[in-house]
């Protein structure tokens, strides 16, 4: 029995969500949530996959130590705790679960908004302290108020729907969406300054990047109404916490509600803790039973896909294939890798100067990034000591000075509805291989200028020869006398008595000594053995 893949879960994840991973054949799951960083560093080399939430820091050192790692999965939206660049260079796929806790985060945002509007946490503490001064907690209605959202992504759109149900009017600032996109959702798209000036409640829903850190600072807060309130259920650091405390203390805004912080856990001496106009929760945006089960299941299924050499649905450092395109593209990704391996064995140790991928037919309508990466993987895997996969293939090719090109020809070639062509140049020669998926199986259908279709599997013997009587028979006779069994034979030629390409499928590899004997046959130009 093959050695099982080993998967380490180093943060607390929903056990129900992990069930698909536990039930998957050939996978062993270890849950160890008590590891210190140095302990994790010591054992990570034994694992093929790592599942985390936000506690485990997946550093460059950890990635370097993970010699077997193929995938790092974050059960949540962000990947702030993962060195994605280091993972990409190591050929490790990073996946997350961007949709699993969207509703939970949106509902928590609305809960925080209502708590701000009606002073609910403060009033609760007041009553528990034995007091009853109702006048201290006069609130505001959210009906007819303006909600301004920084960002209009998945979570923000769910917040918008709920806010509109409460009778709020919504503005949004997002430089990456169009006005039509916003209008279709009943939202008016504005610039950041307009958003600040007009909002009664401001909520941020953007990742923490170099462009968004301290996006809302003291100057931005001073543009707001003194009755305005600010929320952050996205990422700590988008709103400058010191500036927020200062603005609330100065009466420049009426209050704030934060679920995320620049430093988590929030330090005991943080001034946020002592301001009774600021509501705090300990990063609860995704903390519902339903959300935690969903994000764990989302990453578990992706880990299974990666370990079985299938594309991950939400890969952070690889092209994302929409679910409705996966069924069509996956066979062509497999075909492109086989074609790459095929050409590599034809050119031997020659260096590669250029790789060109051409798609004909319906295939040309799809993103070719994975298909191109598959071809590169097939071409380079046997040459490099580091892992080559769909994540780092393009990067490794570019580092080797290989020119990459892709072409799309939307009309289909007469023989095949969808055709994939791989052209590889070396300093001394050029090889062109064509392929297609026929009844769900990978086929090579052309070698250089000869059309010859055969399954892209198993042991192959290829010859280029002058089309003369008896050559095919002599090759078959010699193989038979050496007990090499032929499973199929296909020949392609441009015209009678010209050069032809013959492909034989054999049950076992053709021995080198037998190749020398075959090469002695008159009119044979070259012989190549290939295993796919």
Q: Tokens for 456?
A: 């892209």
Q: What is the pLDDT of residue 200?
A: 98
| pLDDT surpassing 80 at residue 54 | yes
Ranking 1-15, 216-230, 454-468 by mean pLDDT, the lowest is 1-15
Q: pLDDT averaged over the chain?
A: 94
| pLDDT surpassing 50 at residue 529 | yes
Query: How far apart, in whole angstroms, are the C-alpha atoms of residue 76 and residue 97?
Result: 5
2 confidence band (pLDDT: 50, 70, 90): low
Residues 229-237: what's their mean pLDDT? 96
The answer to whether domain 322-448 has CATH 3.75.10.10 is no
Residues forming the active site: 235, 264, 283
- The segment(s) of the chain belonging to CATH 3.30.1330.90 are 322-448
**pTM metric for this prediction:** 0.68
Residue with tokens 């030629």, as numbered in its chain: 493
Model pLDDT for residues 247-300, shown as the tens digit of each residue: 999 999 999 999 999 999 999 999 999 999 999 999 999 999 999 999 999 999
- The segment(s) of the chain belonging to CATH 3.30.70.260 are 458-532
Model pLDDT for residues 321-348, shown as the tens digit of each residue: 777 787 899 999 999 999 999 999 999 8
Model pLDDT for residues 158-193, shown as the tens digit of each residue: 999 999 999 999 999 999 999 999 999 999 999 999
- The segment(s) of the chain belonging to CATH 3.40.50.720 are 5-99+290-307, 102-280
Q: What is the pLDDT of residue 139?
A: 97
Query: How far apart, in whole angstroms, are the C-alpha atoms of residue 125 and residue 128?
Result: 5
| pLDDT surpassing 90 at residue 358 | yes
Q: Count how many Cα atoms sit within 13 Å of the Cα of residue 309 in the half-sphere of its side chain.
A: 9
Selection from 1-10, 187-196, 404-413 with the highest mean pLDDT: 187-196
Specify the CATH number for 102-280; select among 3.40.50.720, 3.40.50.880, 3.40.50.300, 1.10.10.10.
3.40.50.720
CATH class (in words) of the domain with range 5-99+290-307: alpha beta
For 329-371, give the DSSP string.
HHHHHHHHHHHHHHHHHHHTT----EEEEEEEEGGGGS--HHH
Specify the CATH number for 458-532; select among 3.30.360.30, 3.30.70.260, 3.40.718.10, 3.40.640.10.
3.30.70.260
Q: What is the pLDDT of residue 411?
A: 81
Model pLDDT for residues 431-477, shown as the tens digit of each residue: 999 999 999 999 999 999 899 999 999 999 999 999 999 999 999 99
Residue with tokens 């609330």, as numbered in its chain: 248
Q: How far is CA 187 from CA 158, 199, 216, 285, in A?
A: 12, 13, 21, 23
């Amino acid at each position: 029995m093959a050695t099982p893949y080993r998967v380490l879960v180093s943060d607390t994840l929903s056990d129900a969500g992990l069930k698909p991973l536990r039930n998957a054949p050939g996978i062993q799951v270890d849950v160890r949530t008590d590891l210190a960083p140095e302990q994790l560093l010591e054992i990570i080399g034994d694992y093929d996959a790592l599942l985390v939430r936000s506690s485990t820091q997946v550093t460059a050192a950890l990635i370097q130590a993970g010699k077997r790692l193929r995938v790092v999965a974050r059960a949540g939206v962000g990947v702030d705790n993962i060195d994605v660049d280091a993972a990409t260079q190591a050929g490790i796929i990073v996946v997350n679960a961007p949709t699993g806790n969207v509703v939970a985060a949106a509902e928590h945002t609305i809960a925080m908004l209502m708590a701000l509007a009606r002073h609910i946490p403060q009033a609760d503490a007041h009553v528990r302290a034995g007091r009853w001064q109702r006048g201290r907690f006069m609130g505001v209605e959210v009906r007819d108020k303006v909600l301004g959202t920084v960002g209009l992504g998945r979570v923000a759109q769910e917040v918008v729907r709920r806010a509109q149900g409460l009778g709020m009017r919504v503005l949004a600032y997002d430089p990456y969406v169009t006005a039509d996109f916003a209008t279709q959702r009943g939202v008016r798209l504005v610039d950041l300054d307009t958003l600040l000036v007009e909002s009664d409640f401001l909520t941020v829903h953007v990742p923490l990047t170099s462009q968004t850190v301290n996006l809302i600072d003291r100057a931005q807060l001073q543009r707001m109404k003194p009755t305005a309130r600010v929320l952050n259920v996205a990422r700590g650091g988008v709103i400058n916490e010191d500036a927020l405390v200062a603005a609330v203390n100065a009466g420049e805004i009426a209050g704030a509600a934060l679920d995320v912080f620049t430093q988590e856990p929030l330090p005991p001496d943080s001034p946020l803790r002592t301001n009774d106009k600021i509501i705090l929760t300990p990063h609860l945006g995704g903390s519902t039973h339903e959300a935690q089960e969903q994000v764990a299941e989302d990453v578990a299924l992706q880990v299974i896909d990666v370990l079985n050499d299938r594309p991950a649905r939400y890969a952070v450092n690889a092209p994302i294939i929409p679910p409705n395109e996966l069924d069509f593209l996956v066979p062509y990704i497999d075909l492109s890798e086989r074609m790459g391996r095929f050409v590599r064995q034809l050119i031997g140790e020659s260096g590669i100067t250029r790789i060109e991928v051409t798609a004909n037919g319906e295939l040309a309508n799809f993103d070719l990034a994975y298909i191109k990466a598959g071809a590169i993987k097939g071409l380079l895997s046997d040459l490099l000591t580091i892992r080559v996969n769909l994540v780092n293939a393009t990067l490794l090719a570019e580092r080797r000075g290989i020119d990459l090109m892709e072409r799309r020809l939307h009309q289909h070639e007469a023989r095949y509805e969808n055709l994939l062509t791989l052209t590889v140049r070396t300093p001394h020669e050029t090889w062109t291989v064509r392929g297609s998926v026929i009844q769900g199986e990978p086929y090579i259908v052309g070698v250089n200028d000869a059309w010859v279709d055969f399954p892209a599997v198993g042991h192959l013997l290829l010859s280029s020869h002058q089309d003369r009587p008896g050559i095919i028979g002599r090759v078959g006779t010699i193989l038979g006398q050496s007990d090499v069994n032929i499973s199929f034979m296909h020949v392609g030629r441009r015209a009678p008595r010209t050069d032809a390409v013959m492909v034989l499928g054999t049950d076992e590899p053709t021995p080198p000594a037998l190749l020398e004997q075959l090469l002695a046959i008159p009119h044979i130009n070259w012989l190549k053995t290939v295993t796919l």
